[in-house]
Structure formats: structure tokens, C-alpha cells
Amino acid sequence: MPSGLNLYRRSAVYYFRRRLPTGTGTGPVTLHVSLHTKDRAKAKALAAELTHVSDTLFDEARRGHLTTDELQRILVAVARRQAKKLELLAVVDRANPVADPMSGERADRINGAVYRLLAERGRAATLPQDPAFLRGCGLDPSEAEQVQMSLEFYRSQKLAIAMTLIQTAKLNGLEPMAW
């Protein structure tokens, strides 16, 4: 499964794959790191971190400071460390008996739903009664109240207007910072 994050799947498990750039003195070598997950979202988060770290490591390899084996070991260690970090964050998020509407992945999904509403319907957007919209945003229909509260908060802070202007500018090919 190709992707811009150097991900592929084998037997339902995601792997990170990155070819060493020329100039590292090793010839055409590709590093492979098992991410030990079947969850695409988790794999994407891990791959993003590994891509970032490997950029720095490849610079060191070009200078002759790291061998291919060392690069491989470091990337495996980074993948394990990042996976543990993601697991801990998920545990903390789930352990909170009264879920904070602005914490972790849940907050991302709620804000994503608000941004989507504003982008599709403008600053007068309202939350549709159809639960399919929330499910399409990765939310449970019981979270409709949080989406509505966030939408109202953005309106009260005039953020809905600003986000609508930014979306309009982007659609017209303008960079928001240019105006």
C-alpha cells in the first residue's frame, strides 16, 4: 500500500520503508521497520515520526557518522519509543472518566467536524440532524453536543468568520498570509 509516508502493509501489519539516499556510501539500500500495528492511523503517526527522524539520520550517514546497521537500529528504537508514547496518550485519554472535549484524538475529530461544517456550509453552518455526518467525521452521535458547543464557541470568538475567509482564500488560490 503506497503512501507519501513510506508505509506499506504485509499480512495486515504496517511497515515503514525508506531508501537510503545517494551519497551515504552504501549503494541502493532500503531500510524496513515493522510498526507492529494493524491500525492505519497509528501507522501514519509512527511513519511521520520515522520520516522526520530519518531525514536527520540520513544527513549523518552522508557524513559517514552512521552505518546502515546503526540507522536500522535507531529507527527501530524510535518506532518502539513513539508507539509507547502513543499508547500512553491513548490510555490517559481513555482513563479520564469525564472526557475533556478538547483532549487528544477526540478533540481533533471534534474540531475536524467543525472545520468541515464551516468549509462546506460557511459561517452560518449548523450541525445536521443526520448522524451520518458525525460518523463520517469519526465521531459517535452522542458527541453532537460537543461539536455544537465548539461551533458556537468559534462563532462567539469570531473564529468562524476567519476560518471561512481562510477557506475562501485558499479556494481562490490565495495564501491567507498574503492578505
pLDDT for 2 equals 43
Residue 35 and residue 108 in one domain: no
Residue 55 and residue 29 in one domain: yes
Residue 20 and residue 80 in one domain: yes
pLDDT digits (tens, 9 = 90+) for 44-61: 888 888 888 888 888 888
Residue 90 and residue 169 in one domain: no
Residue 30 is assigned to a structural domain of this protein: yes
Residue 1: pLDDT band (50, 70, 90) is: very low
* 8 vs 1: CA distance, rounded Å: 5
Residue 1 is assigned to a structural domain of this protein: no
**pTM of this prediction?**
0.52
Choose the most confident range, by mean pLDDT, from 15-24, 43-52, 107-116: 43-52
9 has which bridge partners?
A: 14
Residue 76 and residue 131 in one domain: no
- The domain in which residue 27 lies consists of 7-95
pLDDT for 9 equals 92
* 165 vs 117: CA distance, rounded Å: 14
CA 86 to chain centre: 12
- Any long-range contacts for 57-62 (C-beta under 8 Å, 24+ apart)? 58/20, 58/21, 58/24, 61/20, 61/24, 61/25, 61/26, 62/21, 62/23, 62/24, 62/25
* 108 vs 155: CA distance, rounded Å: 18
